[in-house]
Amino acid sequence: MTHNDDNHPVRVVTRKSLFEQEIDLIDNDILCRQQSRKNAENPPKDSWQEDGFLYTRDGETIWVDFTLRSHRDPLAFPNRKKWIITCVAFTFSMATNWNTGAYAIGERSLQRDLGGTALETSAGFAIYVWGFALFPLVLSGLSEDMGRRPLYVVTGLLFWLFFFPIIKARNMSMLLAFRFLQGGMGSTGASVVGGTLADVWVTSERGLKMSLFSFVCFFGNSIAPLAMSWVEARPDLEWRWIQWIQVILFGVCLPFIMAIPETREGVILRRQAARKRRAAGATEQGTYMARSEANKPKLVDLIKASSLRPLWLLFTEPIVLFFSLWAALAWGVFYALTVSIPLIFQGLYDFDVGRTGLVYLALIIGTFLSFCFNFYQEHLYRKNVATRGPEARLYAAMLGGVCFAVGCFLYAWTSFPHVTYIAPCIGITVVVFGIFCIYVGVFNFLADSYTIYASSALSAQSALRNLVAGSFALFTRQLYNNLTPRWGTTLFGCLATILAVIPFIAFFYGPKIRAHSNFAKTLAEDQRKREGIELSEEVIA
């Protein structure tokens, strides 16, 4: 990457590796944002302001930027508007996660009506989660190029429409096909929401919002079986009405999702530059231009990068691989709990469907307790980040790893008819407490460790986590039937015990491990560039 002046970055065209392409794409974004913030703070002499935009003449080109604290800049939106955007995005996240838990509680009537096998019925759960895993590898690139809002509008509408063929399905093949597509559309509620939060909140403000995002995902998965169990218990309602109720609820939310404003900075500036070109009657793109247009990568390159970079990181970075495996096991056990609760509490304790739904309160309690504990984790992070670095994100994750394993054993060996049902419920609460700590800890640790490459590292973690978690739903029923629920959950506990060492190793040896990373030198250099942007963001906000 070279520069012919302060305003116009120019790419040296050579054949480059995937790693070098990653650097170029991010460098271009950094340099564009850096120059934009610089001009906003100290407008050049040959510039003027209009309706929140700053226009700077540079020869034949007029660069389009935001003014300082512009009402057009998502980072400078009023807090009320930021929270509205955040809550609407969270609504999408909760709806897509709600759909996961709601399906599980209605599997019995669905299997009876469609004549599927137990494996085929479980596949409806798994294939939805696999859609969550695979579609973001393409959609992430689209959101960078087209913006966040078009994805919310299109995928939100399709997610809602796909309920109808699922409700009208007369065989498992039709249901499975649309469950996969619906999961893919619903993945926007996970993959794009994180980008939206980064668009409107500066780094120092994102901690609580990311914890809330995690809470919403867990809460949606947990509350749906509780609420929908009473629908499944009614012979005149059952699984089809579980879907109809979601049509109604998400239909109420859909107009708000479709009205969400664009928050991707580069997209807003490109659209404004295009409007000015049209108004000026220019036939070329050489008059008004957003800085991101100077070296704007092709859409196919963005999609290729968003698809391949996470896989490349997964197999070349030990930190990404092992933390992704740990998160995958935790998420898989979380889904296994969703499937196992009816098996255990209806099989051992003779609960009806309605009472079984109440057991899911244990998941909600575990999620809430862990969310509250995260405030203490944030306190420890602020206290120790100067000396510990990214490893200061791992205090809660270390505790979570222990609770995850202990909770599995407690759940397994209190599941007896002669032992009160409260005991396995406590085990479930401890398991979910640990899983939430792991989920948030892995997310924040990878984000801090890989800074500007965080989106690729997190995409790798998310893809592996959801692929593994979906697979757990396929074999949990068979595992419990063959090994019994006690030994099946004990197996999960043994795996959790082995992987619980991961955050401890990272906490004490993380800097040495990262020192051998291919990213080490690049991260050090790019972090220097990035600090200038973050300081500017704090000024703007």
What is the DSSP track for 70-98?
A: -TTSGGGS-HHHHHHHHHHHHHHHHHHHH
Please name the residues in contact with 499: beta carbons below 8 A apart, sequence gap of 6 or more.
Answer: 322, 325, 326, 329, 401
Mean local confidence (pLDDT), 214-240: 91
Residues 197 and 290 in one domain: no
| Per-residue pLDDT at 478 exceeds 50 | yes
| Per-residue pLDDT at 522 exceeds 90 | no
Residues 226 and 166 in one domain: yes
Contact 389/511 with Cβ under 8 angstroms? yes
Separation of alpha carbons 89 and 79, rounded Å: 15
What secondary structure, in 3-state letters, does 306-344 show?
HHHHHHHHHHHCHHHHHHHHHHHHHHHHHHHHHHHHHHH
Mean local confidence (pLDDT), 498-514: 90
What is the DSSP track for 118-140?
A: HHHHHHHHHHHHHHHHHTHHHHH
Quote the DSSP letter at residue 297: P
- Lowest mean per-residue pLDDT among 47-51, 202-206, 463-467: 202-206
Mean local confidence (pLDDT), 496-523: 81
The reported pLDDT for the residue numbered 541 is 55
Over the chain, what is the mean pLDDT? 85
| Per-residue pLDDT at 278 exceeds 60 | yes
The reported pLDDT for the residue numbered 192 is 87
Residues 416 and 271 in one domain: no
Mean local confidence (pLDDT), 27-41: 68
Q: Which of 279, 296, 313 marks a domain boundary?
A: 296
| Per-residue pLDDT at 163 exceeds 90 | yes
| Per-residue pLDDT at 301 exceeds 80 | no
The reported pLDDT for the residue numbered 484 is 86
Residues 280 and 227 in one domain: no
Place of tokens 């479709």: 258
Rg (CA), the chain: 24
**Tell me, what CATH number does 222's domain have?**
1.20.1250.20
User: How far is residue 263 from each of residues 194, 217, 297, 324, 528, measured CA to CA in Å?
Assistant: 12, 22, 20, 29, 25
Residues 204 and 336 in one domain: no
Mean local confidence (pLDDT), 465-476: 89
| Per-residue pLDDT at 329 exceeds 80 | yes
The reported pLDDT for the residue numbered 150 is 94
pLDDT tens track for 85-131: 999 999 999 999 999 989 988 999 999 999 989 899 999 999 999 99
The reported pLDDT for the residue numbered 307 is 78
The reported pLDDT for the residue numbered 524 is 52
Using 50, 70 and 90 to split pLDDT, how confident is the model at 13?
very low
Residues 314 and 393 in one domain: yes
Residues 378 and 508 in one domain: yes
Separation of alpha carbons 178 and 120, rounded Å: 14
- Lowest mean per-residue pLDDT among 204-208, 328-332, 354-358: 204-208
| Per-residue pLDDT at 7 exceeds 60 | no
- Lowest mean per-residue pLDDT among 47-61, 138-152, 516-530: 516-530
What pTM was estimated for this model as a whole?
0.85
Residues 232 and 378 in one domain: no
The reported pLDDT for the residue numbered 263 is 92
Q: Residue 229 belongs to what domain range?
A: 73-263
The reported pLDDT for the residue numbered 451 is 66
Residues 103 and 249 in one domain: yes
Residues 479 and 350 in one domain: yes
Number of folded domains in the chain? 3
- Lowest mean per-residue pLDDT among 24-38, 130-144, 373-387, 464-478: 24-38
Residues 152 and 58 in one domain: no
Percent of the chain having pLDDT more than 90?
46
